[in-house]
Chain A
């Protein structure tokens, strides 16, 4: 049997014992006056009393009080853990207990011990300290002999004086033995409870130290993980560098090689045939242009430099500033979406769209004013670029516009173009859940 079961048994034993004691005392209180009255012995009985014995209904008060006490205790004990019992319950039990003690003329205060046993488990911290303090003082006060006589209450001892010495001794010893038994039960319960608590505490301490050890191991692993991350970053860098080198080699290298070779041939041919040299020069120029295109393509494939270093809004600001300083157009940038948390590909898309649109406006529309407006609403990012340039009746999508559309399609976005009043580009990108402002 574990300690919990033991404690439960003790609680029940105490409950039964207290019930028995209270019933026993009540019976003496009720029956003695009736017996004396019936046997026409009231005068003798009354002379032994210090005051008028209370009316028999006081005892029914005790009985009702005790019944409610037991009910409360049961409710307290078996209520589902999910329902937090209000503080009232904790004070009702001692109050009722005092009522019963009062109704029994302070003849038995062991009930207080039962209440302590009943409630000590469910109280914690400051509440428990208050509770124990109150109960201790109540126990002391109710143990005072002068207290009942001051209140004009007749003690059980005076009732017992009515009986013959032998009967009286038996009755008195019964009460004392039961009371002492109650006290013993109380002490044993407390010892068991403290033992159980100590055991629990040591278990908690053991578990705690295990947790600490695990924690240490975890932090070591964490360090290793960090080192690994740094390593893999370095590797990524190297890979990127290699890719760049390859790119340069594949595009610039190829073109420059062609140009170098063509230029050498041109030098040779110039004296022999200027006509041929001219053709050769034309070819070199083509190659250079092609190389240029190649470079552009590969640079475009790389991430914009500005975005690498800056946040999107700063990067866009920088972009607009630069464009404004190299052209005569006034560019206004409005961003109505703060703390945008976009993924790198979305950022790329936004940056490129703005860049391409401004370039187009200046180059093809010869605009003097460009408005860039970025706003987010209803999980949708809207990019609007409006210029006061030439515009055009029918739009012929060039490389830039096609490219824009492709980028947007990858992000499930859409693009609207209107050239009737200046040039207006409206791009919409749906934002993902969780990335919202």
Chain B
């Protein structure tokens, strides 16, 4: 009896010593937080040092959290990032905190790879949804649950060839312009200038039915990815507008070259491109023959002047073993004024934080980068961000979108029965989504 007791005591003591040893060992070892980060701009804008923002964030974070070491793998280009991230997941070596490209969000959500942030946000208390622009914030949510917070956004603006408009005696449109204004100007400038019988000056380049849908305040798919909304009146209207615009150009193939040479008046333009090409020396290098600026997208008949917002997200891995620490770092990336304001100095995106984007310092930075007269985009930036819409995200969004592109492009070729065609498109897409 006594011997058994002794044995038990001994084994208990050994266990405690082992646990104590583990604790001490774990305590002395630095905690490592891994991060998945994209090298370079997701929007293909050339950036000087793409790690400047995250390196600064890591430095601040490590200073605030002694004993914590943040590591990331460098050199993963945006085009490889999706594959890299999923491969890390497959190998069970995914980072604790990682960037999520807009197109991967649905896939990662479907795989349960993202940790819901609602609980962490509630417990933390210092982060509120009101801090962010709605579209940016919503792009990290599915089914009412927040799975990611926006790191960097890029809205779409309308590029205006001011020189071309001036030649025709047309004023640069105001920011609250509509489809009607847009169409009118396009019709006016589209013509054959050299008289060879072929159109060589065009109203717009690249304004697609997708842009029209956003402008009319509707999305092609329902939020849950179960239904296609192509036959909704607003959608039909948008596609009809795109079709009407297309007819202006009489089947002429407009190319990027036409645009670069200054023969196109309007082109939807990413804000990151604007930030890249607006400052000196890029401005002269790329578009040397004309003056240009960016304004808001035209609004459709039943929508505001909303454009689709492209948002780079940050998430916490659902299998991360240090979620609290991961949340702290995620907060450092997405909610800290220091990190977010660096987006304007060291990157070409827009911060999703209202207080950062609208701060005088940011305005100062933007103004400093842009030459005197073209400041339209800077003034409208807050409005564009407020009015932007987030694309729905579900697992097969990209494939569905590809299919929709083919189907709708084909449908737009039918000159008389667009409504009927759109119904057919909706049926086919519904079938695809529900399988």
Contacts and interface: CB of A to CB of B under 8 A. Distances in A.
B86 A43 contact: yes
Contacts of A34: 90-91
A36 interface: yes
Interface stretch (A50-58, A245-253, A386-394): A50-58
B83 interface: yes
A36 B87 CA distance: 8
B92 interface: yes
Contacts of B395: 47
Contacts of A46: 86, 89-90, 107, 111
B301 interface: no
B163 interface: no
B83 A43 contact: yes
A57 B87 CA distance: 16
A42 B86 contact: yes
A301 interface: no
Interface in B67-89: 82-83, 86-87, 89
Given A47-B395, A49-B111, A56 B92 contact: yes
A29 to B, nearest CB: 11
Contacts, number: 50
B354 interface: no
Given A37-B87, A46-B107, A53-B90, 4 more contacts: A42-B87, A42-B90, A43-B107, A54-B92
Interface in B345-403: 395-396
Interface string B191-204: 00000000000000
B112 interface: yes
Contacts of B89: 42, 46, 52-53
B interface residue count range (under 10 / 10 to 19 / 20 to 34 / 35 or more): 10 to 19
Place the interface of chain A in its size category. 20 to 34
Contacts of A57: 92
Nearest to B85: A42
A50 B87 CA distance: 16
Contacts of A42: 83, 86-87, 89-90
Contacts of B227: none
B190 interface: no
15 contacts: A34-B90, A36-B90, A42-B83, A42-B90, A43-B86, A45-B86, A45-B90, A46-B107, A47-B107, A49-B111, A52-B112, A52-B319, A54-B92, A56-B91, A152-B112
B113 interface: yes
Nearest to A34: B91
Contacts of A49: 111
A56 B396 CA distance: 27
A40 interface: yes
Contacts of B86: 42-43, 45-46
B41 interface: no
Indicate the member of B86, B107, B112 with the most A CB atoms within 10 Å: B86
Nearest 4 CB-CB pairings of A with B: A55-B92, A33-B90, A37-B87, A42-B86
A39 B89 CA distance: 15
A45 B110 CA distance: 13
Nearest to A36: B90
Contact of A33 (B82, B91, B396): B91
Given A52-B112, A52-B318, A37 B91 contact: yes
A117 B352 CA distance: 63
